[in-house]
Amino acid sequence: HPELSFYISSPLPSEQHCPLCGDKSRRRPDLKKSVVLSELVEDLKKTGLRAAAADLCSAGPEDVACDVCSGRKLKAVKSCLVCVVSYCEEHLQGHYEAAPLKKHQLVEPSKKLQEKICSLHDEVKKIFCRTDQQCICYLCTMDQHRGHETVPAAAERSQKQKELEGSRLNIQQRIQEREKDVKLLQQQMFAINVSADEAVEHSEESFTQMIRLLQNRSLEVKRQLRSQQQTAVSGLKELEEKLQQEIAELKRKDVQLEQLAHTEDHTQFLHSYTSVSALSEPTHSSNIQTAPLRYFEDVAAAVSESRDKLQDILRETEEEKLLLQPQPESRADFLQYSQQITLDPNSVNRKLKLSDGDRKVTFTKEVQPYSDHPDRFTVYLQVLNRESLTGRSYWEVERRGGVAVAVTYKNISRAGGEEECGFGFNDKSWGLHCYSDSFIFYHNNIHTPVSGPQSSRVGVYLDHRAGILSFYSVSETMTLLHRVQTSFTQPLHAGVRVYYGTSAEFVKPE
């Protein structure tokens, strides 16, 4: 039978008959396409493809389902803010074909369509109330939001979009700054490691040429170098980690803002904008030094220059060991070098009165009966302490009114004009003049205005060997007012200058 010829593929060995019509034939008929079976196969294929497509388009737990589909829900491809309904591809066609529906606003599928509807008036929230910073419907403007500043949500979105771009630009700038800081930190750590390694190697080579008596000193210098290296690198690594954390947080914030910037839904954008756009203050404000650290090289050079002289190497390495010690930073560090200053009665001006164990000096109109002495200041109301200061020292001065807190060489003139004997007006003295509302630092008759918090107590730190002189405003905290880096050629003395009606006391730091 022609309808079965689709299945005939081999010659008939003997007389056969068709199972449908019973026709007998010993000859193989001409093969023809079975129309019935062919259509049946095509129908089966189409049914299978539709079923497979339906499986692929079915809405999963994380998908937005079509609100129109009955039975098995398909994935929604758009949500209509006017209809407040989500549609699959098939049910969405009406919005593309019907003229009234073409004006509806379609957005990406959303599970939160109800949030876009006013719960009081059952209207779409198309207005933004700037007074209350929330989306409302047009009826709300005539109700509880009457008199408030309101704009269309699209207009507010446009403004916030500009602010968002500004925030992103700020984030990107901060990322670049932090990445630059990290690069500087990495360069410093590399320089420290290279300098330390070279210094250690050089020191070892020099010490191997010395006699056995110097072996203990060699090990001590090596330990100090490594300790300084570890301390320096450890601090920089900690700062690097903080900066990397801030960079990561800024990048995460930038991604959130980028995603928000591409949100089509104005209401969703405005709803999320406040929480997403807020930027935290930088967790860290860095002041990274870019000058190369050279004290490792200084130690190595000192050791190399001194290897031929036993007494010189002992003295030089001892001084360099002191230079390697870190400068104090906290108040506890400063207190390790605190000095109880005692004033010298032989240097005090006769219009100044000493009290409290020669630690306090007060202006007095009455001339004090001090004996003549070549160390006495005869013109200016000044006084020096008794003991000379070398090494590291820290002391504090409690003032009542305007005073000048100073250090000076002992050979400063005791008489003459201000340029000869005034603290800070010559090359033999350094003075911080403290007034009621300002500070001025003087040295060699050059004045430098100083800013800082006013307080009744001034702290002075001196590292004679390192040539460091620092002044601090002391209250609940210590604030650096001014620092001098120089080379002191003589032992120093602490001094103070008072004015009419003022006093100063050298107190024991606690």
Q: In this predicted model, what pLDDT tens digit does every residue of 51-80 receive, in sequence order?
A: 545 555 787 788 889 989 988 889 999 988
- Alpha-carbon span 319 to 466, nearest angstrom: 10
Alpha-carbon dihedral 222, 227, 230, 236, rounded to 10 degrees: -120
Query: Among 48, 41, 42, 91, which residue's Cα sits nearest to residue 69?
Result: 91
Please indicate, yes or no, whether residues 340 and 412 belong to a single structural domain of this protein: yes
| Angle, CA of 134, 140 and 143, to the nearest 5° | 125
Return the top range by mean pLDDT from 88-92, 120-124, 341-345: 341-345
Mean model confidence pLDDT for the chain? 84
251 or 225: which carries more pLDDT confidence?
Answer: 251
Please indicate, yes or no, whether residues 335 and 477 belong to a single structural domain of this protein: yes
Q: 315 lies in a domain?
A: no
Please indicate, yes or no, whether residues 273 and 160 belong to a single structural domain of this protein: yes
Q: What's the pLDDT score for residue 15?
A: 60
Please indicate, yes or no, whether residues 381 and 459 belong to a single structural domain of this protein: yes
**Is the per-residue pLDDT at 106 higher than 60?**
yes
Lowest mean pLDDT among 60-64, 129-133, 179-183: 60-64
- The model's confidence at residue 94, banded by pLDDT at 50, 70 and 90, is confident
Question: Measured on CA atoms in the order 240, 242, 247, 252, is the torsion positive or negative?
Answer: positive
Cross-strand partners of 403: 434, 498
Determine contact, residues 242/283, Cβ cutoff 8 Å.
yes
Please indicate, yes or no, whether residues 408 and 484 belong to a single structural domain of this protein: yes
- Alpha-carbon span 234 to 120, nearest angstrom: 61
Q: 192 lies in a domain?
A: yes
Please indicate, yes or no, whether residues 351 and 417 belong to a single structural domain of this protein: yes
- The model's confidence at residue 110, banded by pLDDT at 50, 70 and 90, is confident
The amino acid occupying position 89 is E
| Each residue's pLDDT tens digit, 461-488 | 999 988 999 999 999 889 999 999 999 9
**Is the per-residue pLDDT at 372 higher than 50?**
yes
> Among residues of the chain, what percentage have pLDDT more than 70?
83
Q: What's the pLDDT score for residue 2?
A: 45
Cross-strand partners of 397: 458, 506
| Each residue's pLDDT tens digit, 431-442 | 999 998 899 999
Please indicate, yes or no, whether residues 413 and 475 belong to a single structural domain of this protein: yes
| Residue 196 structure tokens | 């330390």
At which of 213, 248, 278 does a domain end? 278
Q: 117 lies in a domain?
A: no
Q: What's the pLDDT score for residue 9?
A: 46
* Residue owning tokens 């001590």: 220
Q: 84 lies in a domain?
A: no
Q: What's the pLDDT score for residue 12?
A: 46
13 or 263: which carries more pLDDT confidence?
Answer: 263
Please indicate, yes or no, whether residues 244 and 349 belong to a single structural domain of this protein: no
Which strands, in side-by-side order, build the sheet including 503-507?
A: 352-355, 360-363, 503-507, 392-400, 457-463, 468-474, 478-485
Q: What's the pLDDT score for residue 5?
A: 44
Q: What's the pLDDT score for residue 40?
A: 75
Please indicate, yes or no, whether residues 263 and 338 belong to a single structural domain of this protein: no
**Is the per-residue pLDDT at 427 higher than 70?**
yes
Q: What's the pLDDT score for residue 7?
A: 43
Q: 46 lies in a domain?
A: no
Please indicate, yes or no, whether residues 274 and 335 belong to a single structural domain of this protein: no
The full length of the chain comes to: 510
Q: Report H helices in 266-416.
A: 266-277, 295-306, 310-324, 331-335
At which of 216, 245, 278 does a domain end? 278
The DSSP code sequence of 432-462 is: EEE-SS-EEEEETTEEEEE-----SEEEEEE
Query: Among 504, 467, 465, which residue's Cα sits nearest to residue 384?
Result: 504
| Each residue's pLDDT tens digit, 142-171 | 988 989 999 998 899 899 999 999 999 999
At which of 260, 278, 296 does a domain end? 278
Burial class (CB in 10 A: 0-12, 13-18, 19+), 67: middle
Number of helices (H) and strands (E), helices first, in the chain? 9, 21
Q: 216 lies in a domain?
A: yes
Q: 40 lies in a domain?
A: no
CATH number for the domain that contains residue 428: 2.60.120.920
Q: What is the pLDDT averaged over residues 365-389?
A: 93
Lowest mean pLDDT among 83-87, 282-286, 424-428: 282-286
Q: What is the pLDDT averaged over residues 382-405?
A: 93
**Is the per-residue pLDDT at 307 higher than 80?**
no
Please indicate, yes or no, whether residues 271 and 390 belong to a single structural domain of this protein: no
Please indicate, yes or no, whether residues 352 and 491 belong to a single structural domain of this protein: yes
- The model's confidence at residue 124, banded by pLDDT at 50, 70 and 90, is confident
Q: 438 lies in a domain?
A: yes
Domain count, the chain: 2
**Is the per-residue pLDDT at 240 higher than 60?**
yes
* Residue 236 lies in domain: 156-278
